[in-house]
Amino acid sequence: MSDIQSPLPGTFYHKPSPEEPPFKAPGDAVAVGDQIGLIEVMKTFIAVTADIAGTFKSYNVDDATPVTAGAVLAELD
Amino acid sequence: MAIQRLFIANRGEIAVRVVKAAKALGIHTIQAHSEADTEMLAVKLADEAICVGPAQSKDSYLNIPAILKAAKATKADAIHPGYGFLSESPAFARAVEEAGLIFVGPSADTIERMGDKVAARQAAEAAGVPVVPGSDGRIDVSEALSVAEKIGYPVMIKAAAGGGGRGIRIAKDEAELKTLAPQAKAEAEAAFGDGGLYIERAILSPRHIEVQILGDGETAVHCYERECSLQRRRQKVWEEAGAMCLDDETRESLCASAVALAKAVNYRGAGTLEYLYDEAANEFYFIEMNTRIQVEHPVTEMVTGVDLVAEMIKVCGGAALSMTQDEIKKTGHAIEVRLCAEDPFLNFMPWPGVVSTLKEPTGDGVRFDHFLSEGYQIPPFYDSLLGKVIVYAETREAAIDKLVEALESMEIGGTKTTAPLHLALASDPEVRKGAFHTQWLEPWLEAGNLSATKGDAA
């Protein structure tokens, strides 16, 4: 089991856009480099990617929520 | 009735600027803030502060009902919108008016009219202000050649129904237009189901010149022009007053045209008319009006001595303009650079750090408008502008020298800023000569001019 942390402070999003499904759902396979979310920082969107492989367990913060740098955004099994 | 309790519906450096100006006028200040902005400098400086919602702008600084509720709860009699956020929202200005409060800016109707590209162009033409020559509304392919002949090449062909730059083509002569117009029509039909075209003169590599105006609803004056041609992604990064590329005669007719339009719309408050300037042809064309105070207003204040923010508060409180055109004199040269929390060496990546040390630039003719303090966590939720370094000297050359001194003496620890970009620009021979235009900065950056300078050590 491992955590994916936020590289920057900002607003975390589960989805590429409000109309689309989340990047990952529970049970999805996650490869190194897979995008799991977006951080909006100072009006710029930065991709959050997995640096280890695993199976997606859950998002740890709600969609469109403020997060600090280092906050756990998601967990893998 | 003069304003007595001013509610500031904005944040960052402009909120600080408005709070200070209002307090100097003896006005009680009420600063709005989001949950993420409780430690903001304007909150500390204002007489009182009130939270208007969560961190995200849409829930706080852009939330009209929340702002009106907070303004009423604090018994404000006026609202200053700053720039950005709701400053150019006719719906907000109208809601403020309907709540019986003063909106520090023009009427909702004026904001609406000048915010609409077509209506603004018509108002400008009616006031005798030059606009980019173009077709009178939509045309079809067969009319394109005769219209282009009249307005002059090169011409830009756009889809009449489109927007956002889709289907734009530039034809430099008749032969090119004959090929491109049918293509543009086909593309417009495919994209919008409407093959109507619009043609206007293409102003290649224009300079961006703008005129500051002030109005009290009855009359209007100008405070001369600024040049803001150094832009990245359509954001101004370096602004000057005045525009060295203009001769006196052109400057006079440019400023007079801005006053004519301001008077024609009975403008109240501070406003800016933006123009494209074709240096080779020595011609200027109105493009749009900003019905609010602008980020770069300090350069105008430095060369004219007019306090634009104080004046807009006074006239919106019902006072007549405190000066006539004859009393507004311009001397010397001023430059402003925008300091953003970004890493200029890493493609301007946002960098919302904690300010560990702060040594402000000081000196005669140096001004620093900002909202920083030591220990301040720069919030990641808003734009990256931290402040502005403004310098004033007798000549442009001396102003650039002073800018270098100011930037080198300043220290902002704990975060990256765009100061290295400004130092590199200040030492560039083309910038020194004033030989640039709106399409200059991005290729300069792409060519690696920034990483090749001494700022690289930062």
Q: How many CB pairs under 8 A join A and B?
A: 36
Q: What's the pLDDT at B400?
A: 98
Task: Tell which residue, B212, B298, B285, B308, has the closest CA to residue B255.
Answer: B212
Question: Is B166 designated active site?
Answer: no
pLDDT tens digits, residue range B174-208?
999 999 999 888 888 887 788 888 899 999 899 99
Residues of B in contact with A11 (CB under 8 A): 55-56, 380-381
Going by pLDDT thresholds of 50, 70 and 90, the confidence category of residue B334 is: very high
**In angstroms, rounded to a whole number, what is the distance separating the alpha carbons of residues B19 and B3?**
13
Residues of A in contact with B380 (CB under 8 A): 8-11, 41-42
Q: Do B380 and A64 touch (CB under 8 A)?
A: no
Q: What's the pLDDT at B166?
A: 63
Structural domain boundaries in chain A: 2-76
pLDDT tens digits, residue range A16-71?
998 999 999 999 999 999 999 999 999 899 999 999 999 999 999 999 999 998 99
Q: What's the pLDDT at B167?
A: 66
- When CB atoms are compared, the residue of B56, B352, B383 closest to A9 is B352
B55 touching A (Cβ < 8 Å): yes
Catalytic entry in B113, B201, B207, B292: B292
pLDDT at B368 over 60: yes
Q: Do B382 and A43 touch (CB under 8 A)?
A: yes
Q: Do B384 and A11 touch (CB under 8 A)?
A: no
pLDDT tens digits, residue range B1-23?
699 999 999 999 999 999 999 99
B376 touching A (Cβ < 8 Å): no
* Complex-level ipTM: 0.81
**Sign (positive/negative) of CA torsion B284, B286, B287, B289?**
positive
pTM: 0.91
Which domains are present in chain B?
5-104 (3.40.50.20), 141-201 (3.30.1490.20), 207-457 (3.30.470.20)
Region B43-50: mean pLDDT is: 98
**Sign (positive/negative) of CA torsion B132, B135, B141, B143?**
negative
Q: Do A8 and B382 touch (CB under 8 A)?
A: no
Tally of residues, chain B: 458
Q: What's the pLDDT at B215?
A: 98
**3.40.50.10490, 3.40.1500.10, 2.40.50.100, 3.40.50.460: which CATH number matches A2-76?**
2.40.50.100
CA distance A43 to chain B (A): 6
Q: Do B380 and A43 touch (CB under 8 A)?
A: no
Residues of A in contact with B382 (CB under 8 A): 42-43
Query: What is the token pair recorded at B118?
Result: 């077509």
DSSP secondary structure letters along A41-61? ETTEEEEEE-SS-EEEEEESS
Task: Tell which residue, B128, B174, B129, B181, has the closest CA to residue B151.
Answer: B174
pLDDT tens digits, residue range B203-250?
989 999 999 999 999 999 999 999 999 999 989 999 999 999 999 999
CB A4 within 8 A of CB A77: no
Query: For testing the chain A interface, which of B233, B347, B349 should be mutated: the one with the most A CBs within 10 Å?
Result: B349
pLDDT at B452 over 60: no
Q: Using alpha carbons, list the distances in angstroms from residue A30 to A56, A62, B42.
A: 6, 20, 45
Residues of B in contact with A64 (CB under 8 A): 56
Q: Do B380 and A10 touch (CB under 8 A)?
A: yes
- Those residues whose C-beta lies under 8 Å from the C-beta of residue B195, and which sit 6 or more positions away, are B140, B185, B186, B188, B189
